[in-house]
Amino acid sequence: MTINNLVFCNLKRRKGRFIFLALGLSVGIATFTLVITVSRAVGQSLQDMLDRYGPNIIITPKSESYSIAYEGINLSSIAMTHSKLTIGDLEKLKDIKNAKNIAITAPKLVRMVELNGYDTRVVGVDFVKELEMKKWWGPLIEADGGREHQYGKHFRRTDDDSLLISKTEDSAIVGYAVAEKLSLKPETILKVHGKEFTVNTILAPTGTEDDQSVFIPLRQAQKIFGVGEELSLVEVSALCKGCPIEDIVTQINSALPNGRASALMSVVSQRLEFLGKFQKFATGIALVALVIGALLVFITVMGSVTERVREIGILRCIGFKQMQISQIIIKETLTVSIAGGIFGYLVGNLASIIVVPRLIGSADASIQISLATLAISLFVAVLVGVLGAFYPSLRAGRLEPLEALRAI
């Protein structure tokens, strides 16, 4: 008979109570594991999504100065230097150190032309990349005599729709304000520099300069403006995770001596702030679950100590020290905590496997099951157990033998 035997015998005797405690703790640990796993997976997914949601780096020709504005970047209509950015330059981006962080590159050629008597911005774009980057783009939908009328194709519906637009070399997508000003509708023929384009879609208002733009295929734009492979700018959507955006900008600037890359820092910081808030929220939920777990341990162990005054009294009478009594209580709780921790970890991971793909909407959501996570879960379970059992064990140890003797 040792203290460990005593602990084991007591666990065996009160197995109902301890199984309940282990289950309660496992709920806390499962919640902790689930929240941490989900927050990690969702955070990663959100980051990837946010990084793909619009550009966070703009590349312009190095010394070119334009007076035309697009997306807050001033572009000149007069070429000041011979430094040019071309389609071929985009290939160089594949060789930079953090090439894998570059999710989308959307090249553009921007020109001001007169359309139906109005100076209008015409933007040559790669439709597939543009639609991939600007996920908020959609056709204008207006009420028309009690019915909704959609102005053009809803090209976001399937990938095939996007490809259809890009493959149509004489299609144009028209910003909401331009369409209104020039009275354009789907299927209207629009003449740009003598070349006819069919209006494919009127864009719903975006609140950006896209509302005042006409988008035509990049190749056609380069051809009708006679600029060869020249580009006005390239919008880049880079994945920030694991690589500071400044590093990518530096790498792009080194790779493109004729270009000047600059980060849209406000966009980056907004995204990081959003991710930070999400992580804090997830951590908050995990902490609440753990505090509830600790309270559960506290209440259960406190109840157990009160129930065992008689037993503690006997042990104190036969010479058990305060510390040895506390040791029995703590060892019992630790055993239950470890069991609850392992079970909670397994349940938490199982729940993650079910929950994460539904939250992210992707079956290939990455859920990392590792020994390190198991170790963290066990550590947290033990910590919760010790915190919850600390005061009751202290109280049990401090129980005066005579006080216990009176209870006998």
Task: Mark the segment that binds another protein (CB under 8 A) among 24-32, 60-68, 295-303, 307-315.
Answer: 307-315
Q: Does 159 bind another protein (CB under 8 A)?
A: no
Instruction: Give the count of residues interacting with another protein (CB under 8 A).
Output: 27
Q: Does 408 bind another protein (CB under 8 A)?
A: yes
Whether 152 contacts 186, CB under 8 Å? yes
Binding mask 312-351 for another protein (x = CB under 8 A): -xxxxxxxxxx-x---------------------------
Q: Of 135 and 310, which CB lies nearer to another protein in the complex structure?
A: 310
Q: Of 163 and 309, which CB lies nearer to another protein in the complex structure?
A: 309
Minimum distance of another protein from residue 303's CB (angstroms): 17
Q: Of 11 and 190, which CB lies nearer to another protein in the complex structure?
A: 11
**What are the structure tokens assigned to 201, written together?**
């879609």
Minimum distance of another protein from residue 401's CB (angstroms): 4
Candidates 167, 191, 310, 358: give the one binding another protein (CB under 8 A): 310
Q: Of 27 and 315, which CB lies nearer to another protein in the complex structure?
A: 315
Minimum distance of another protein from residue 337's CB (angstroms): 22
Residues 5-34 contacting another protein, CB under 8 A: 5-6, 9-10, 12-13
Q: Of 133 and 315, which CB lies nearer to another protein in the complex structure?
A: 315
Site for another protein, rule CB under 8 A: 1-3, 5-6, 9-10, 12-13, 310-311, 313-322, 324, 400-402, 405, 408
